[in-house]
């Protein structure tokens, strides 16, 4: 299997997990935190959107200026929509070719980093209650 196809399979799995940890959050829960130092779901969505923006810039041979990204409409629906649409574009860019640079960037910016934030979100969802942690698995 080519590296880009393997990466795509990983990204599909962690994408399912991202959708699962954000699914069913009430609008009020988007600002909850598992610990004072943790990110809320709203902060996580903006942070991930910035990471996807950085991945897209990297695919274009550009540098991203970290900390400059923001989303004006911070409604939960828009945050999730923005995050997922940027992720789709970043995944497409990272896996379009079997290019070593893109596959490495996709692994760092998407696969590994998304999985890290899935774990954080699962912890929050467990704290909030009513969440089945095994629901994040698609097999």
Q: What is the mean pLDDT of the chain?
A: 95
First to last CA, the chain: 20
Q: Is the pLDDT of residue 139 over 90?
A: no
At residue 33, does pLDDT exceed 90? yes
Any idea where the domains of the chain sit in the sequence? 3-136
Looking up tokens 């490495």 gives 104
Q: Can you name the CATH fold of 3-136?
A: 1.20.120
Instruction: Give 39-92 pLDDT, tens digit per residue.
Output: 999 999 999 999 999 999 999 999 999 999 999 999 999 999 999 999 999 999
Q: List all residues 6 or more positions away from 44 whose beta carbon is below 8 Å from its beta carbon.
A: 117, 120, 121
Position 109 scores a pLDDT of: 85
Among 102, 137, 87, residue whose Cα is nearest residue 2: 102
Residue pair 126/32 in contact by the 8 Å Cβ criterion = no
pLDDT for residue 107 is more than 90: yes
Phi, psi of 137 (to 5 degrees): -95, 135
Is residue 136 within 8 Å of 122, Cβ to Cβ? yes
Query: Could you tell me the pLDDT band of residue 8, with boundaries at 50, 70 and 90?
Result: very high
Q: Which of 45, 60, 58 is nearest to 120 (CA)?
A: 45
């Amino acid at each position: 299997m080519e590296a880009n196809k393997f990466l795509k399979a990983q990204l599909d799995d962690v994408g399912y997990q991202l959708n699962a940890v954000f699914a069913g959050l009430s609008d009020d829960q988007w600002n909850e935190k598992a610990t004072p130092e943790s990110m809320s779901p709203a902060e996580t969505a903006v942070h991930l959107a910035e990471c996807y923006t950085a991945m897209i810039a990297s695919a274009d041979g550009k540098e991203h200026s970290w900390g400059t990204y923001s989303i004006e409409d911070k409604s939960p629906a828009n945050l999730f929509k923005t995050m997922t649409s940027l992720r789709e574009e970043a995944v497409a860019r990272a896996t379009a070719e079997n290019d070593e640079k893109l596959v490495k960037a996709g692994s760092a910016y998407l696969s590994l980093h998304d999985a890290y934030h899935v774990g954080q979100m699962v912890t929050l969802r467990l704290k909030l209650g009513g969440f089945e942690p095994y629901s994040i698995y698609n097999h």
